[in-house]
Amino acid sequence: MPTNLFETATFDDPIAVPIDADPGNAASVQVPFQGLANRTRNLKGRIDLLDPDGSGVRQLRIVADYNALRAVPAGQRTQGQIVQITGKGIFEWDAASTATALEPYVVRPNDIGPASPGRWVISFNDARATPGGLATLDVTSKLRPEQTPNRLIGIYEQYFGALSFPITSGYASSQVDYRNPFFDGSGVFHTSYPTVTYLSDPQVGDVLSIDVSAVLYVVFGGSGAIGLEIYDGGFLFYPSHFQAAVNVNVPWQHVTMTGKYTLQHGNVVYFAMRMAAFGSSSTYFYLMYPFSMRIRHERP
């Protein structure tokens, strides 16, 4: 009478078959049949997990995070293999790639050096930073400069109140000589408004559009100037289009200073308004009304 084989989901290895000296009975063939039946059950379980009804693959290999993806052993990496990180993306093994590791786009396994081939590459890697493709962020989570021409980095505003100050006989010896370029360098000027405005994230080539509102001032008994001091990466600059000067006995001066400045050194950058008065102890600098300074910081 026939009997049923009840298989288990094991991949039996090896499969033992009878030889000529074995008896020709059911027992001699049941063992290999059982092994094949077990293999079949094992493989069916795997296929059902991936494609239960024959309509297509339902599940990929899943790892927990980038660390787990980097740790996939060499023996489990084959050209074109697909691995998914939940919430991060689908990665394909490219055995020939030597691309620079840059998560979440390119992941280099722990056992492969930077110059050696073999990378996990996200499925849409070729679509990033290309015409009609995807914009990407740099390591500071900002759009890359080449993707955002004339990107606005920041707007800075500072307000200054009305003031007046004299030049006293002991003033020159106790103050720093800033040497405004409108003068011959023989005098020292008052460092009014020492409060400075620092730029965040300055880079060489950034363009600053500067607008200093209408300034009404005069100097009695001497000469003077008002202007913008720019500290650019360790160097002081006094751009001429941000300076205004007046000589003794000249009526009130009404000036507006506007223009652009391109950062030449970067690193640390700040701005400060400086007022200069040159002459004797009876020289006075008068700033009649408050004014403002506005800086627009852009990256070409």
Q: Supply the CATH number for residue 245's domain.
A: 2.60.120
Cα 242 from Cα 274, distance rounded (Å): 11
Q: Would you put residue 223 in left (φ > 0), alpha (ψ -120 to 50) or beta?
A: beta
Q: Which residue has the higher pLDDT, 129 or 119?
A: 119
What residue ranges in 82-194 does DSSP mark as E strands? Answer: 82-85, 89-94, 106-107, 119-122, 151-160, 163-166
How far is residue 85 from each of residues 13, 65, 70, measured CA to CA in Å? Answer: 33, 6, 11
Considering its fold, how many domains does the chain have in total? 3
Question: Which domain-ending residue is among 12, 35, 52?
Answer: 52
- Are 170 and 234 within one domain? yes
Is residue 143 in a domain? no
- Are 21 and 112 within one domain? no
- Are 48 and 97 within one domain? no
Residue with tokens 């990496």: 77
How far is residue 170 from each of residues 173, 174, 179, 280, measured CA to CA in Å? Answer: 6, 7, 17, 11
| Phi, psi of 42, deg, nearest 5 | -60, -50
DSSP 173-236: HHS-----TTS-S-S---------EEPSS--TT-EEEEEEEEEEEEEEEEEEEEEEEEEETTEE
User: What's the DSSP call for residue 133?
Assistant: S
Q: What size, in residues, is the chain?
A: 300
Task: Give the tens place of pLDDT for each residue, 253-298.
Answer: 777 888 899 998 877 888 877 776 666 666 776 777 777 888 999 9
| Phi, psi of 197, deg, nearest 5 | -110, 115
- Are 174 and 269 within one domain? yes
DSSP 228-271: EEEEETTEEE--GGGEEEE-TT---EEEEEEEEEE-SS-SSEEE
- Are 278 and 158 within one domain? yes
- Are 39 and 117 within one domain? no
Is residue 141 in a domain? no
> Per residue in 258-289, is it b (16+ CB within 10 Å) or e — as a string?
eeebebeebeebebbbbbbbbbeeebbbbbee
- Are 5 and 88 within one domain? no
Is residue 144 in a domain? no
- Are 173 and 238 within one domain? yes
Query: What does pTM read for this prediction?
Result: 0.49
Is residue 145 in a domain? no
Question: Which domain-ending residue is among 135, 166, 193?
Answer: 135
Cα 292 from Cα 290, distance rounded (Å): 7
- Are 222 and 258 within one domain? yes
- Are 284 and 180 within one domain? yes
- In sequence order, the β-bridge partners of residue 216 are 254
- State the residue range of the domain holding 113: 61-135
- Are 70 and 190 within one domain? no
Question: Which domain-ending residue is among 103, 135, 167?
Answer: 135
Is residue 254 in a domain? yes
Task: Give the tens place of pLDDT for each residue, 127-183.
Answer: 676 776 777 777 777 777 667 777 888 898 888 776 665 654 333 332 333 344 443
Task: Give the tens place of pLDDT for each residue, 177-210.
Answer: 334 444 334 444 444 455 678 888 888 999 999 9
| Cis bond before residue 2 (omega within 30° of 0) | no
- Are 206 and 275 within one domain? yes
First-residue to last-residue Cα distance in the chain = 88
Task: Give the tens place of pLDDT for each residue, 223-263.
Answer: 667 777 788 887 877 777 777 766 666 677 777 888 899 99
